Amino acid sequence: MQASQTISRRIPRRVELHPTLIPALRDRFPLSPRPHYRRFGHDRSNLPQYTAKTTGSSQFRKLYSTYPQQQKMESSSIADLKRIGRDELAAQLLKRQEVAAQTADGVAEPEKIAIVDVRDSDFIGGHLLGCLHRPSSTFSSRLDGLIEELKDHDKVIFHCALSQQRGPSAALKYIREKKSLEARKRVASSEEDELLYKNVGKKVNQEVYVLDGGFVEWQEKYGNDERLTEGWRKEIWDSY
């Protein structure tokens, strides 16, 4: 009798697993998500339907229906950025100049392409004709103004010296901030839209690229072409 009482009073001990065994056990015994996870948004596919059933506010449903798009936006990375080669960009810029010269009467408009140079103190020895200089050191603080300035452009191309770090990073910041503003505009009231977001998202299908090789590779071929490059100084690049 005493032995049975001792057995009944025993408290089950928690089994500690070695960390290397946990992934294997998870694969073999997958756990289904808890119901409240699906209710409150961890399962994003069910979130808009849940809010539609539990609230009568269309504004609330519209707000949370943008959640999947925001998650997709935040998951983008530098590896996902589109790149454009120097020859392709040069051909597009020359074609734009030809179209602009042939359509001076305003019958057709050339494609609007913006070049954003984010070099800092190395912004020397030339630059692409008509580019916007936005140093990477102050890029984030001037991002809202840049989005408004480029709202009518079809393509935006970012670059630095080699387009390995500063250029791609600036392009990614631009894309994320622009999509974030567009998402906020969709759920804003008419008064907020007019005051805060009237210039955001005008070009919904705006394409953003990174110039492959940066200005270093660009100037090797088009540095002395005054149709495409201005301020080029050969002596600087000879010793580069």
Q: Which residue has the higher pLDDT, 41 or 211?
A: 211
Told to judge if 160 belongs to the known catalytic residues of this protein, a careful annotator would answer yes
Q: Which of 81, 160, 181, 228 is catalytic?
A: 160
Question: Under CATH, domain 80-238 is a member of which superfamily?
Answer: Rhodanese-like domain (3.40.250.10)
Q: With left for phi above 0 and alpha for psi between -120 and 50, is residue 130 left, alpha or beta?
A: left
Mean of the per-residue pLDDT values for the chain? Answer: 75
Is 168 within 8 Å of 211 (Cβ atoms)?
no
Alpha carbon 206 to chain centroid, angstroms: 12
The model's pLDDT over 145-172, given as tens digits with 9 standing for 90+, comes to 999 999 889 999 999 999 999 999 999 9
Q: Where are the alpha helices (DSSP H) in 123-209?
A: 143-149, 166-187, 190-196
Percent pLDDT > 70 in the chain is: 59
**HSE-CB of 235 using CA atoms within 13 angstroms:** 0
Domain boundaries, the chain: 2-65, 80-238
Q: How far apart are CA 151 and CA 233, in angstroms?
A: 33
